[in-house]
């Protein structure tokens, strides 16, 4: 089971009722994880964050520089701007801030989800999340 398809299904099931926020938490012992985070944010600069995010999830562990550039080409990004951004670490401050935030709340595992402050560590099936979300929406009268 992978978290990406489950999250996608949740977003489709609850349009306008739930919000997805992603923070970068590159695994410090995994090759290319920080560069992959840079790539997603460089794609965001060109309006293609979610498309790049999906590619990174489905094609991992092929996250080396050459692969990232080929993904940018595939998405129709301005490859020169994209490459300059990942090579310069243009989003390092944002990524480092996300890591500090994660550490400040004792978050050390990915994926970790928060639903109205309730922490869920690890991948879970759609039904697990649905039960929690339905209960919360019912409490709100939605």
* In 9-80, beta strands by DSSP E: none
* Total H helices, total E strands in the chain: 7, 2
pLDDT digits (tens, 9 = 90+) for 128-139: 999 999 999 999
pLDDT digits (tens, 9 = 90+) for 4-41: 788 889 999 999 999 998 888 887 656 788 999 999 99
pLDDT digits (tens, 9 = 90+) for 50-72: 999 989 988 988 999 999 999 99
d(Cα 142, Cα 137) in Å, to the nearest integer? 5
| Radius of gyration over every alpha carbon of the chain, rounded to an integer in angstroms | 16
For residues 61 and 94, is the Cβ–Cβ distance under 8 A? no
Which among 98, 42, 29, 88 has a CA at the least distance from the CA of 68?
42
- pLDDT value, residue 29: 56
For residues 86 and 68, is the Cβ–Cβ distance under 8 A? yes
- pLDDT value, residue 2: 65
């Amino acid at each position: 089971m992978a978290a990406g398809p489950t999250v996608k299904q949740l977003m489709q099931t609850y349009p306008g009722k739930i919000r997805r926020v992603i923070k970068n938490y590159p695994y410090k012992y995994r090759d290319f994880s920080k560069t992959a985070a840079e790539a997603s944010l460089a794609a965001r600069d060109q309006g293609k964050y979610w498309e790049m995010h999906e590619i990174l999830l489905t094609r991992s562990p092929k996250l080396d520089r050459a692969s990232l550039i080929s993904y940018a080409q595939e998405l129709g990004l301005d490859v020169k701007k994209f490459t300059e951004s990942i090579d310069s670490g243009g989003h390092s401050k944002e990524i480092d801030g996300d890591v500090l935030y994660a550490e400040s709340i004792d978050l050390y595992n990915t994926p970790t989800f928060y639903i109205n402050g309730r922490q869920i560590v690890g991948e879970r099936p759609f039904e697990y999340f649905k039960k929690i979300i339905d209960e919360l929406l019912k409490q709100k009268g939605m």
